[in-house]
Amino acid sequence: MSKPSDLVQGTLDLLILKILALEPLNGWAVSKRLRQVSGDTLQVSDGSLYPALHKLEQEGWITAEWRASENNRRAKFYSLTRLGRKHLEKEAANWTRLSDAIAGVLRLEEV
Amino acid sequence: MRVEHWIYSLPLRLRSLFHRRQVEEELDEELQDHLHQKIEEGIARGLSPDEARYSALRAMDGLEQRKQQCRDLRGVNAIENFVQDLRHGLRMLRKSPGFTTAAVLTLALGIGANTAVFSVVNAVLLRPLRYPEPDRMVNFYISNPRLESISIPVFMVWRQQTGVLEDFAIYGSAYKDPGVSLTNTDHPETLRASHVSAGFFKLFGASIEAGRTFSDQEDVPHGPKVAVISDGFWRRRFGADRSLVGNTISLGGESYVVVGVVHDMEPTHSAFNLMLGPSLRIDTPADVWLPLQADPNSTFQSLDYRGAARLKPGVTLEMAQAATNLAQTQFHKKFPELPLIPGFEWGLESMSDAMVGNVRLAILVLMGAVSFVMLIACANVANLLLARAAHRRREMAIRAALGARRRRIVFQLLTETLPLSLAGGALGIVLGYPFLRILLAKSLVDLPRIGGQGSAVTLDWRVLLFTILATLLTSVIFGLIPALSVSRCSPHAGLMENDPRSSSGLGRKRTRSILVVLEMALSLILLAGAALLMRTFVALKGVNPGFETRNILTCEMSLNQPRFDQTSAVARLVRDGQRRVEALPGVEMLAATRELPLDQARDLGGILIEGRPKNTNQPAVDFREISARYFDVFRIPLLQGRTFTEQDTEQTPRVAVINETMAKKFWPGYPVAGSPIGERISMDLSGLMGPAESPLQIVGVVGDARDVALGSAPEPMMYILMNQCSDWFNAWDNRLLGPLIWVIRTKAEPLSLNEAIQHELRIASGGLAVGHVRAMDQVRTEATADSTFNMTLFNVFAGIAILLAAIGIFGVMACFVNERTKEIGLRIALGALPRDVLAMVVRQGMRLVVIGISIGIMGSLALTPLIASLLYGVKSTDPTVLACVAALLCAVALATVYFPARRATKIDPVLALRWE
């Protein structure tokens, strides 16, 4: 089974927040967007998406609202809160710092 | 950040909790929507509808699991489980009302008793003093003999230590408030008065209702006659008239300008252990404060006042103590003529310690005792639950078999017991608190800080918090034992329970036996404590006080006014009073004194006997100023020589009468080889404590009386005549040391003559009121009030304990007989006589009792020394008491075990062998 832990811990949260930062989306649209942007590199199962969304909602980083989707179905749309935006900025900066550091280590020449 | 988080998540959680169905539907809809889209997408990619559906579901990794994951994230799972378990528990309790009633009542007894005692602990020990920054307030005392008092010269030196202390105050009387008479009025009364230095109001944080308090300029020798009065007195007597401030009132025949009204204050001192007496005295709040106007150059060394101050911020008690020690060194340099008494050291203690004094121990002992009651109650309810748990082992086994984790099962069982504790706790407050209030109101116990009749013992947040914690704690204690016991068994064993060969119930039986042993042990300890206190009470009641208390009326009159500064004025007052009161029908005779026996005595320090060298190792001597008929009123027997007569007047030589103890201690051959009669004595400190007094000739020896308290052995006592005191000594008495006390022997019930006597005394004194009217029998009852209080509470606790323990052992033995019906039936069928069956069951039960009692005896031997200081006339490890208590407990247990044992003998073997 592929669980969120298949990704680097917390990365799924970061991805979802970033996607929702662009526009409010429902769960299905988020999963589509995830597949589009990451291709096959990041395997996110549909199953792990919803617990992740609910968790972010509980944290107060995203908020949900029921409204009509593009095909006129009632759907739960998630959007980023002010708190979520702050969190995203912080996490994104962290991520950049961490990946830069790791990249730096990997660039070391073997003797 | 946190707050903002809650703004988002709290509504969500509340919604999950209260709109559960809607939230569930939304979750379902959301996931179904996703699946739909996924299936449509799959079909669009060319999959068959079934394949598309299958692949969509697979991508979801288990729809139900994901839903549960989402539910878990709502953070309200624990609450939901809790509510579910609680409902289940309530249902179970409703189904067995007998069990529920027994358990709730048991817990109510335990929690109620604890709440009640804790409310006293709270009022006396925990509630902060109602003064500003009470933690920084310190009280001055002198060690060995311990006196919470200070003299003016000591205060003047001590208050130089401004580096560590501030807000110094010297105030009140270290003895007994002499009070002051409100005069120039149709309704004279004796007011409670306190002489205070200007700093007093700042130290104790008096809040001013009108006017102001004393200024430093007013607090100087021969300063203006000003007064501050209490809010209560102002309202009661003057109808809260604001124009009173700036006007005068007449106190002791002199005019005082009222400069201010302050709100009633918590008594500035509650408990003090005067002259080593075990009885406590509670100071009542003052009606009026007068400026002390102490002379900074005074050399009068008598320790007549109290002293207190506040630590400067950041200063510890140790630092202040060091500075105080330094001050004492300076003091002795300043007064080199004062004798240095070893151990006579200046000390500081926190004000709260000074307030509570030696009551702390008694209260903590009560708290300890009552917590035993709680433990026994817990053990009993645990026992009941265990008995019930037998029926639920199958249920628990099924739960475990279906995958419930042990933690979840234990938690469930604990939650089910919560309603029991909550009901018990609620009932406990309802029962326990009023019981204690009634007890405090009825009892004459002198506990500091509890207010009039225990009015300050209230249910505040601390008491409620304590009760809630106690409730939860009991629920955990009595719930956890059966919960662990039940959940321990494997599902297999639990499901096999009905198999007669199964032995899985053994552990549970052992748990129940241990609980009974524990109950017996705790009950024995409580019983031992109760028995010791009862012995103390009986011993105190049986003490011969050395005088007769029946048919004596006592009342007090404040002579705190210039009119009585001359000894002759007091002598005339006593003579007039005596003539008038003795003329009343029903009155036998009257005397006057400065202190009552059983109440307090004044320490004179050492004495000098003419013709003997000064001896600093001799015992201290108490003294009492009385009028001639004191010994007749109290019927204190004369042993040698003569008592005072009307012929001993101001003009005749000064005479003294001493008690037997003094005669024996100072004249070792007394009564055979040596006699004090005719010897001349004088006070050792005469001259330092005021003008030198002329020597006294001993004319008689009288029997010992319990002068300080019933429980303290007689000390050397010297009686002198009031009318032979110097004017200076007389004024000192009137102004500082206490009121004049009238004692009247009557032929009838003394209080029935109260009004007539008061009337005559008012005429004799030129319009002064008397106060604090008591029959001497009441004084005696008050003298044993603390002991009565301790004993009553301990008896109640021990009674509850023994009742609960009896119920406990009954339950266990009834269960024992029940479980072994088949075996007993078999025995009877094989020819066992009823006697044998009876013996078997009784033996089984008494084995537990004996083990419990043995442990209890060891526990008592370890614990009762803690209450040694509350005991009188009995040793804390008295073997007779322990033996009696053990026998009593055995008898109660035997009587209880007898019932299930008798039932066992009635078992019909035919029915029993078919028993399932």
- Give the CATH number of the domain where residue A88 resides: 1.10.10.10
Query: Are B731 and B690 within 8 A, CB to CB?
Result: no
Q: Do B9 and A58 touch (CB under 8 A)?
A: yes
Between CA B870 and CA B815 the distance in angstroms is 42
The number of residues in chain A equals: 111
Check whether B560 has a pLDDT greater than 70: yes
Residues of chain A positioned with their CB less than 8 A from the CB of B34: 27-28, 31, 46, 50
| Contact residues on chain B for A1, CB-CB shorter than 8 A | 61
For residues B450-471, average pLDDT: 78
Name the band, by pLDDT with cuts 50, 70 and 90, for residue B744: very high
From residue B853, how far is each of B309, B341, B436, B445, B743 by CA, in Å? 52, 50, 30, 33, 51
- B72: closest chain A residue by CA: A51
Q: Of B339-353, B393-407, B754-768, B822-836, where does mean pLDDT reach its minimum? A: B393-407
Q: Based on the structure, what is the number of domains in chain A? A: 1
Residue B30 and residue A83: Cβ atoms within 8 Å?
no
Residue A63 forms part of a structural domain? yes
Distance separating alpha carbons of residues B33 and B27, to the nearest angstrom: 10
Per-residue pLDDT, B490: 63
Tell me the CB-side half-sphere exposure of residue B824, using CA atoms within 13 A.
27
Least confident among A66-70, A74-78, B173-177, B664-668: B173-177
Cross-chain residue pair B34–A46, CB shorter than 8 Å: yes
CB contacts, 8 Å: A81 with chain B: 8
Residues B62 and B95 occupy one common structural domain: no
**Do the chains contact at B59 and A47, CB–CB below 8 Å?**
yes
| Contacting residues for B377 by C-beta, under 8 A, at least 6 apart | B106, B107, B109, B110, B111, B474, B478, B800, B804
Torsions phi, psi for B228 (to 5 deg): -110, 135
Asked if residue A3 has pLDDT above 50, the reply is: no
Secondary structure element (H or E) that encloses residue B86, with its range: helix B77-95
Regarding predicted confidence, which is higher, B359 or B424?
B424
Q: Which of B761, B362, B359 is nearest to B554 (CA)?
A: B761
Q: Return the minimum-mean-pLDDT range out of A75-89, B409-423, B675-689.
A: B675-689
Q: What does DSSP assign to residue B287?
A: S
Q: Is the pLDDT of residue B162 over 80?
A: yes
Q: Do A76 and B26 touch (CB under 8 A)?
A: yes
Q: Encode pLDDT of B634-658 as tens digits.
A: 999 999 999 999 899 988 999 999 9
- Please report the pLDDT score of residue B501 as a whole number: 41
> Which one-letter amino acid corresponds to residue B183?
T
B chain contacts of residue A66, beta-carbon cutoff 8 Å: 26
Minimum CA–CA partner of B14 in chain A: A58
The answer to whether the CB atoms of A58 and B12 lie below 8 A apart is yes
Q: Residue B833 has which token pair?
A: 């006589």
Q: Which residue does chain A place closest to B15, by CA atoms? A: A58
What is the phi/psi pair of residue B60, to 5°? -80, -15
Per CB distance under 8 Å, which residues of B are interface residues toward A?
1, 4-9, 12-13, 26, 29-31, 33-34, 37-38, 56, 59-62, 65-66, 69-70, 73-75
Question: Which position has the token pair 């060690």?
Answer: B143
Residue A32: is it exposed, middle or buried by C-beta count within 10 angstroms (0-12/13-18/19+)? Answer: middle
pLDDT > 60? residue B214: yes
Compute the average pLDDT of residues B289-307. 87
Domain region containing A46: 4-106
Residue in B with minimal Cα distance to A60: B8
B29 and B176 together in one domain: no
Distance (Å) from the C-alpha of residue B24 to the closest C-alpha of chain A?
A: 13
Place of tokens 């804390």: B876
Instruction: Give CA–CA dist B107/B100, Å, rounded.
Output: 10
Task: Answer yes or no: is B690 within a domain.
Answer: yes
Closest CA to B867 of B881, B851, B852: B881
d(CA B617, CA B614): 9
Interface test with B, best of A50, A56, A71 (most B CBs within 10 A): A50
Question: Nearest chain B Cα to A31, which residue?
Answer: B34
Q: How confident is the model at residue B270 (pLDDT cuts 50, 70, 90)?
A: very low
Tokens 């067995």 identify what position? Answer: B96
The predicted-structure confidence for B68-106, as pLDDT tens digits, reads as follows 778 777 766 677 778 888 888 888 888 888 888 888 888
Res. B449: pLDDT tops 50 = yes
Identify from A1, A2, A3, A28 which residue to disrupt to test chain B contact, counting B C-beta atoms within 10 A and taking the largest count: A28
Q: Is residue B514 in some structural domain? A: no
CA distances from B366 to B105, B596, B786, B867, B870 (A): 21, 31, 12, 10, 11
In this complex, how many residue pairs, one in chain A and one in chain B, have their CB atoms less than 8 Å apart? 75
Residue B275 covered by a domain: no
Tokens at residue B495, please?
A: 């499901």
Shortest alpha-carbon distance between residue A59 and chain B (Å)? 6
What is the DSSP annotation of B865-912? GGGGGG-SSS-TT-HHHHHHHHHHHHHHHHHHHHHHHHHHHT--HHHH
If you count them, how many residues does chain B have? 916
Q: What pLDDT, in 10s, does the model give residues B393-444? A: 777 778 777 777 777 778 887 888 888 888 888 898 888 878 777 777 776 6
> Is the pLDDT score of B239 beyond 60?
yes
Instruction: Clarify whether residues B171 and B100 are in a common domain.
Output: no
Taking contacts as CB-CB distances below 8 angstroms, the residues of chain A near B61 are 1-3, 45-48
- What is the structure's pLDDT at B276? 29
- What lies within 8 Å, CB to CB, of B684 at 6+ separation is B605, B606, B607, B608, B614
Residue B7 makes CB contacts below 8 A (sequence gap 6+) with A60
Is residue A111 included in any domain, yes or no?
no
Domain that holds residue B150: 145-269+285-342
pLDDT of residue B506: 55
ipTM, 2 dp: 0.84
Same domain, B663 and B721: yes
Percent of chain B with pLDDT over 70: 91
The pLDDT value recorded for residue B524 is 93
Which residue stretches of B122-163 are H helix? 152-158
Bridge partners of residue B755, in order along the sequence: none
- Are B301 and B369 in a shared domain? no
Q: How many CB atoms lie within 10 A of CB B496?
A: 16
Q: What is the mean pLDDT of residues B229-256?
A: 91
Considering only B262-271, B621-630, B773-782, B862-871, which range has the smallest mean pLDDT? B262-271
Residue A59: inside a domain: yes
Interface test with B, best of A12, A34, A55, A58 (most B CBs within 10 A): A58
Q: Tell me: the pLDDT tens digits for B465-476?
A: 888 888 888 888
From the list B211, B205, B305, B204, the residue with the least C-alpha distance to B256 is: B211
Residue B300 has a pLDDT of 83
pLDDT of residue B274: 34
Tell me the pLDDT band of B580, cut-offs 50, 70 and 90: very high
Between CA B309 and CA B137 the distance in angstroms is 6
Higher-confidence residue of B273 and A76: namely A76
In a domain, B491, yes or no: yes
Residue to mutate among A49, A53, A54, A55, with most B CBs inside 10 A, is A54
Residues B332, B381 share a domain: no
Read off the pLDDT band of B499 (50, 70, 90). Answer: very low
Query: What letter represents residue A56's amino acid?
Result: L
Residues of chain A contacting residue B66, judged by C-beta atoms under 8 Å apart: 47, 50-51
Find the Cα–Cα–Cα–Cα dihedral B474, B475, B478, B484, rounded to 10°.
Answer: -140
**Is B207 within a domain?**
yes
For residues B585-595, average pLDDT: 94
A74-80 sheet: strands from edge to edge: A25-26, A74-80, A62-68
Give the tens place of pLDDT for each residue, B691-710.
777 889 999 999 999 987 78
The answer on pLDDT for B605 being more than 50 is yes
Instruction: Report d(CA B191, CA B234) in Å as an integer.
Output: 12
Confidence at residue B79, expressed as pLDDT on a 0 to 100 scale: 76
Inter-chain CB proximity A74 and B37 less than 8 Å: no
Domain assignment of residue B778, yes or no = no
Question: Both tokens of residue B241?
Answer: 């008239």
Are B161 and B184 contained in the same domain?
Answer: yes
- On whether both B408 and B324 belong to a single domain, the answer is no
Scanning every residue of chain A, which has its alpha carbon at the shortest distance from the alpha carbon of B12? A58
Q: Indicate the range of A81-95, B40-54, B337-351, B740-754 predicted with least confidence.
A: B337-351
Task: Choose one of B767, B795, B821: the last residue of a domain.
Answer: B767
Give the phi and the psi of residue B294 in degrees, each rounded to 5: -75, 145
- pLDDT tens-digit map of B880-894: 999 999 999 999 999
If you average pLDDT over every residue of chain B, what do you get?
84
Lowest mean pLDDT among B195-199, B541-545, B615-619: B615-619
Within this chain, do residues B459 and B588 fall inside the same structural domain, yes or no? no
Average pLDDT over residues B798-825: 85
Report how far apart, in Å, the C-alpha atoms of B880 and of each of B92, B150, B526, B531, B894 are: 48, 46, 16, 10, 21
Residue B218 domain-assigned (yes or no): yes
Do B65 and B100 lie in a common domain? Answer: no
- Cβ atoms within 10 A of the Cβ of A97, count? 10
Our measurement of the distance from residue B709's CA atom to the centroid of its chain's CA atoms, rounded to an integer in Å, reads 19
pLDDT at B758 over 90: yes
Q: How many domains does chain B have?
A: 4
Q: Which residues pair with B289 in a beta bridge?
A: B194, B228
Q: Which residues of A touch B (CB under 8 A)?
A: 1-3, 26-28, 31, 45-48, 50-51, 54-55, 57-60, 63, 66, 73-76, 81-83
- Range in A37-46, B279-288, B533-542, B689-698 the model is least confident about: B279-288
Quick one: pLDDT at residue A2?
39
pLDDT for position B688: 60
Taking contacts as CB-CB distances below 8 angstroms, the residues of chain B near A48 are 61
Enumerate the β-bridge partners of residue B170.
B307
The pLDDT value recorded for residue B467 is 84
How many Å apart are CA B719 and CA B737, to the nearest integer? 16
Task: Report if residue A87 sits inside a domain.
Answer: yes
Whether the pLDDT of residue B280 is over 50: the answer is no
Please check whether residues B436 and B324 belong to one and the same domain: no
Looking at the structure, tell me whether residues B613 and B628 fall in a common domain. yes
Among candidates A46, A58, A74 on the partner chain, residue whose Cβ is nearest the Cβ of B38 = A46
> Torsions phi, psi of B295, nearest 5?
-85, 120
